[in-house]
Amino acid sequence: MEKIKIENLYKVFGKNTKRVFPLIEKNYDKEEILKKTGCTIGVNNVSFEVEDGEFFVVMGLSGSGKSTLIRCLNRLIKPTKGSVYIDGKDIAKCDEESLIEIRRKKMSMVFQNFALFPHRTILSNVEYGLEVQGIDEETRKEKSLEALNLVGLKDYASSKPDELSGGMQQRVGLARALATDPDILLMDEAFSALDPLIRKDMQDELLELQAKMKKTIVFITHDLNEALKLGDRIAIMKDGVIEQIGTPEEILTNPNSKYVKDFVEDVDRTKVLTASSIMQKPNALLDYKDGPNVAVRFMSEEGIASLYVVDKNRILKGIVKIEDATNLVKKQSKQINEIIDKDVPIVDKDTPMEDLLPMAKVAKYPLAVVNENNKLLGIIKRSTIIGGILGEEE
Ligand SMILES: Nc1ncnc2c1ncn2[C@@H]1O[C@H](COP(=O)(O)OP(=O)(O)O)[C@@H](O)[C@H]1O
Ligand SMILES: [Mg+2]
């Protein structure tokens, strides 16, 4: 049997929401209905099922109704109309007592801005959900350590939240949700606030975890790339309505509306690798005010032959080579200006990969990626470009 089944679900915010339904029947859109009635449609006639063990993603722009929908699943929001069945039981209709039971035992939720208790240890933060359930101390500790281990944070059990990075704190949120061993994991933009690289790691880890755990996951995101990567199936939402449900493959190859099609084309564009997507942090940078001794020291420490020079606002000034810097040291000169080579290969951050290759071939130095103000954002080594191309062809 399906784990979750939603049938003709509506959530309307506002007063006297009954007035809204005849207008929905007449195909008035969300904006017109708001004008006429002052009511906002959060979820509009949504129906779908999620299989046991499925990774189901709901994708849509901000305001499309994703959070409202997921909150109807654990009834943090009471639907205006329609049914939500969890294991065959309609939670839109069940009494408070069984609702609490279902919420505690069957599902857990991870939010975007997950708040940890600052004065509690990480372990004790994870224990929270179990504590609420009245589970004894020993079991609590055991389950929480297990959950921390799952998310790779066992060593931080006795740390305090402010000792952890944003990504790690989000992991603690996941651990707290997992500690109660729920059947269903509800994740509302859980990764959306993370830096791109950390976010990617979290996605990979969640997929790895899911391969082991086989939970039923409802994951919300506004990012189609994230949806395509994670979802067994994706539901695309707009103005409270589900536009399309399908596997990533179906969504990409068979978008059933202009709206979805536009989205998919956007993704194709972002898939093109650009300078900013492959650049790296430079191992070292030289401050314009530094002298040749510092330059030589940085380069020998990092084992590099040249070093980009920036001012205090990170505006690119040029590059110095190790032999020039060494000569300057011998001459006992401090004038780094003399040896700054201004003829450096500069690329805009949005330069596509295919244009980088010919540049990299003739460049004497790593490419400097800059923004419109000539601020140095990162560098690209030749090997990265060649490697990137090969990686693409695999
Ligand atoms: N408590 C509320 N009262 C009134 N309108 C709300 C409330 N919560 C959400 N909405 C409206 O419902 C729509 C869907 O919001 P939401 O579910 O938060 O979207 P999403 O999570 O996709 O960004 C929006 O138009 C929003 O303004
Ligand atoms: Mg939301």
CATH of the domain at 354: 3.10.580.10
List the single range of 116-120, 203-207, 269-273 with lowest mean pLDDT: 269-273
The answer to whether residue 127 is domain-embedded is no
pLDDT tier at 392, thresholds 50, 70, 90: very low
CATH number for the domain harbouring residue 226: 3.40.50.300
Task: Write the DSSP symbol of residue 111.
Answer: -
pLDDT tens digit sequence for 335-354: 889 999 999 999 998 888 87
At 266 the pLDDT is 74
Minimum-distance ligand 1 atom for the alpha carbon of 71: 17
| pLDDT attached to residue 358 | 86
> What residue ranges line ligand 1, CB within 6 angstroms?
13, 40, 42, 60, 62-68
Check pLDDT > 80 for residue 197. no
Atom of ligand 1 nearest to the CA of 222: 22
Distance CA 68, CA 80 (A): 11
DSSP SS3 for 200: helix
For the chain, state the CA radius of gyration. Answer: 27
Q: Are residues 95 and 226 in the same domain?
A: yes
Check: CB of residue 221 under 8 Å from CB of residue 110: no
Element (H, E) at 229: helix 224-230
Q: Are residues 267 and 282 in the same domain?
A: no
Distance CA 299, CA 293 (A): 10
CA dihedral 118, 121, 127, 128 (to 10 degrees): -20
User: Does the structure show a pLDDT above 60 at 390?
Assistant: no
Domain that holds residue 75: 4-106+182-271
Q: Is residue 48 part of a domain?
A: yes
Domain count, the chain: 2
H or E stretch covering 39: none
Q: Which of 271, 303, 336 is the last residue of a domain?
A: 271
* Residue partners of 326: CB distance under 8 A and separation at least 6: 292, 296
Residue nearest to atom 18 of ligand 1 (CA): 67
Alpha-carbon distance 288 to 292, whole Å? 10
Domain-ending residue, one of 242, 271, 300? 271
Whether this model's pTM surpasses 0.85: no
Residue with tokens 């990764």: 191
Instruction: Say how many CA atoms lie within 13 Å of 371 toward its Cβ.
Output: 6
| 68, 70, 113, best to mutate for ligand 1 pocket (most atoms within 8 Å of CB) | 68
Q: Does 140 map to a domain?
A: no
Among 238, 271, 304, the domain-final residue is 271
The residue whose CB lies within 8 Å of the most ligand 1 atoms, and thus the one to mutate among 40, 43, 238, is: 40
How would you class 238 by CB atoms within 10 Å of its CB: exposed for 0-12, middle for 13-18, buried for 19 or more?
buried
Q: What is the pLDDT of residues 165-191, one digit of tens each?
A: 888 999 999 999 999 999 999 999 999
**Does the residue 14 lie in any domain?**
yes
Ligand 1 atom index nearest CA of 60 = 22
Same domain, 186 and 287: no
Looking at the CA of residue 30, tell me the nearest atom of ligand 1.
Answer: 25
Q: How confident is the model at residue 267 (pLDDT cuts 50, 70, 90)?
A: low
The reported pLDDT for the residue numbered 394 is 31
Give 386's pLDDT tier (boundaries 50, 70, 90): low
Confidence of residue 269 (pLDDT cuts 50, 70, 90): low
The pLDDT value given to residue 393: 35
pLDDT value of position 272? 65
Q: Give which of 312, 309, 305 is closest to 336, Cα–Cα.
A: 309
Does the residue 176 lie in any domain? Answer: no
- For residue 370, is pLDDT > 90? yes
